[in-house]
Structure 1
């Protein structure tokens, strides 16, 4: 693990805590990398308790006073980030530690949205909903979790809410008709950036997107967005500026055709690989994601993101600033990747990875049964046999009503049991409907009425 170049603690007591935190972090990394067995709750809680103990000692030393950041703070942040992802992995997604990694990602996303001034109402709505969930977690925090961690998360949440409010105000400055145009422009801009980073660049695809921009431009009157009476909409200058930026970007993309200068090729390739891997996980996450894997992606992204200078740009080996095309392309990949990480964390199920295979099978069964029900049910009870056999085989896996893995009782028993019950209920409803159909089919039809 490479720790950023920050000073060592001056206090000997802090140095001792740093040594212990480094050992805890190393143990967490070893546990993360072990793919030979499922991550067990007791292993995670043992390391969590050790971490909380060191945090208590650190608080006693610092006594709430503000200190300049040193290596201890960096290692502590890594420990919290890892333990947070472990809590997600074992299915304890509604507890305070699990919220830590999510708040880090939300803060990073909001920083980028504020910096770029390119965001949609949907972006803000999603983050707002997630912050509401985190608020509920913090309000229900119990005494077993570190007060330091609860306080830290509360401060982060307050900061994120404040940033969110400022971003909302920017959208509220636009009249309603312009908000729709603004959303379209953001969507087109992101589609162009996606086309720009595909393995095979398509001129036609970008030209089609540019023509959509031109349609919006043609709807303007004397360079302004106006209503039917010719009155300029509130916020017209903001949307027209965004349109100008979009058109400029389309011209640059068509000129460069996805070719990145050699000086920034390494960074680009790393970011492309991260984006592509996260994209795959977002599709197959139910079957292939171990939340702790997100830590490595975050570290790589953070490292590249934080290598930017005060002006938000990168330097090549000769100290030259990256051109606008390179800067925007790299930033798009970084922001897209953080967006995937946010989505994957938000989608984490309240079930231990040990139970995920069963949980995922039940999710698939439930979708199939709902699809059968919505398409008119089954023609006979016999058609339900495959579903019933699968449900019974899963039900028979329980020992004293619990799903066991070896001698362990993994987290998420309630979620799996509830899902199993839902599937049984759906199958029962379909069986009853099929039996009624069969009984109705056995009855002799009434003779036709004879005209007198």
Structure 2
């Protein structure tokens, strides 16, 4: 895999052995993620993590007087940390400091793009802030078990992200509670328009619908003295407009000038973007077609993963997408894309490519956030239990069952999963994969729902009360008792 772009300066001869070992570790990590014949084992990942930390210690000793230096060693080191971080997610150690690294790196990229775009929702910032707070807690909790070199790095990166969030929140601080929903709507429309623009067939009708929504918003915003464009009519028309504004302001006090400018600018951007994309109809200039196709392919693949994540995603696979996006992102100069002869992209190509880039980073962020704290070795069982739980809850929502016999399929499946445990744990060979507690809790919940459904059915069907336990689903209760005695542990053959 090609390195992500990074400053290249002459390598200190003392750092060459470190680079060689890091390259070897990165190769081992890549082989680990590519091997689909078996699941990723915790001990393999932990051993490689320890080897990386050994090289970090040596590197820090060499760089006592040049802490800010960046060369190929740092690029490969970042690759190793990214792969190890995603591997920790793969083995279910989501709440350990190494797993935080990849999330924080992706978050920083996402925040930089939000800052550059200058439009985002307050809810976006709240969600990211909450996740960063979780990362801070995981880092704090791991101080006794993990290298201070890693923890110091994570703490610094989390602090940088929090600083950017503070700046972004400040930009929206002038929005009043009445204007915030309208701002959110404008953000949503602009994102939706960009999504329409990348469809294989341009959806004119859908874009026209968004145009109508914008016109309606424009009318609503006039009550707050916010206009997309200033009047260019005659003197009499301008006086009439000023009179109308005065009447409106008596009913709705005008917001701060900063808020008015913020919303008016975004409103104009929406109108301009609609005109532009309707004119272009999805046609990209040939000079930027290659990078467009590449970004569109990445975006589509990532979105497909969101649909099949629980069944097909190995988190380490995200590294390839991260690096491909980083390489494209780093080719920009002053925020713009340039063709092969150094000509900058027009507004249409620039915004279209940026949308694809930002959407892909946001999807990677969402995939990392939604990763379950369960080893991929246990995911087949975890996914089956998740599906069973959904089915049982749907049955309960629809009024339950008329007879305990209707629960037989669920009882049989739950008992077959329960019988996989060895001494209260799901085992894979001689290994005890991570995520035992999560699987056990889910199994116990399924038993509880099934037991409640059976009791409700027996209460409503007196003739079923006299049936023997082995015919009325009594084994469900017995298995539930087994789960409770196991103390929250689970295992897999």
1:413 aligns with 2:445: no
Q: Which residue of 2 aligns with 1:446?
A: none
Structure 1, 214-223 or 80-89: larger mean CA deviation: 214-223
Q: Distance in 2 between matches of 1:405 and 1:251?
A: 58
Structure 1, 184-193 or 429-438: larger mean CA deviation: 429-438
1:233 aligns with 2:255: yes
Matches within 5 A, 1:26-425: 26-63=27-64, 65-221=66-222, 224-225=225-226, 229=251, 231-234=253-256, 235-310=259-334, 312-425=335-448
Q: Distance in 2 between matches of 1:5 and 1:214?
A: 45
Q: Please give the per-residue CA displacement for 1:80-120, whole angstroms capped at 9, x wherever unaligned.
A: 00000000000000000000000001101110011110100
Structure 1, 252-261 or 397-406: larger mean CA deviation: 397-406
Q: Distance in 2 between matches of 1:243 and 1:326?
A: 20
**Cα pair 2:91 2:374 within 8 Å, conserved:** yes
Q: Please give the per-residue CA displacement for 1:401-430, whole angstroms capped at 9, x wherever unaligned.
A: 211122222111111111111111111111
Q: TM-score, normalised on structure 2?
A: 0.87
**Cα pair 1:223 1:240 within 8 Å, conserved:** no
Alpha-carbon deviation of 1:123?
0.8
Q: Please give the per-residue CA displacement for 1:69-88, whole angstroms capped at 9, x wherever unaligned.
A: 11101110000000000000
Structure 1's unaligned 5+ residue stretches are: 444-452
3-state DSSP class of the match of 2:344? coil
Give the number of aligned pairs: 442
Alpha-carbon deviation of 1:437?
1.3
Q: Distance in 2 between matches of 1:236 and 1:30?
A: 54
**Cα pair 1:86 1:291 within 8 Å, conserved:** yes
Alpha-carbon deviation of 1:64?
7.2
Q: Which residue of 2 aligns with 1:2?
A: 2
Structure 2's unaligned 5+ residue stretches are: 227-247, 467-493
Q: Distance in 2 between matches of 1:12 and 1:65?
A: 15
Q: Which residue of 1 aligns with 2:484?
A: none
Alpha-carbon deviation of 1:65?
4.4
3-state DSSP class of the match of 2:94? coil
**Cα pair 2:107 2:365 within 8 Å, conserved:** yes
Mark the CA change 1:177 to 1:380 in structure 2 (over 3 Å): closer, same or farther. Answer: same
Q: Distance in 1 between matches of 2:325 and 2:249?
A: 44
Mark the CA change 1:222 to 1:395 in structure 2 (over 3 Å): closer, same or farther. Answer: closer
3-state DSSP class of the match of 1:176? coil
Mark the CA change 1:436 to 1:114 in structure 2 (over 3 Å): closer, same or farther. Answer: same
Q: Please give the per-residue CA displacement for 1:226-250, whole angstroms capped at 9, x wherever unaligned.
A: 6562532221121011101110011
Q: CA RMSD in A?
A: 1.8
Q: Distance in 1 between matches of 2:360 and 2:328?
A: 12
Structure 1, 170-179 or 314-323: larger mean CA deviation: 170-179
Alpha-carbon deviation of 1:13?
2.2
Q: TM-score, normalised on structure 1?
A: 0.94
**Cα pair 1:87 1:97 within 8 Å, conserved:** yes
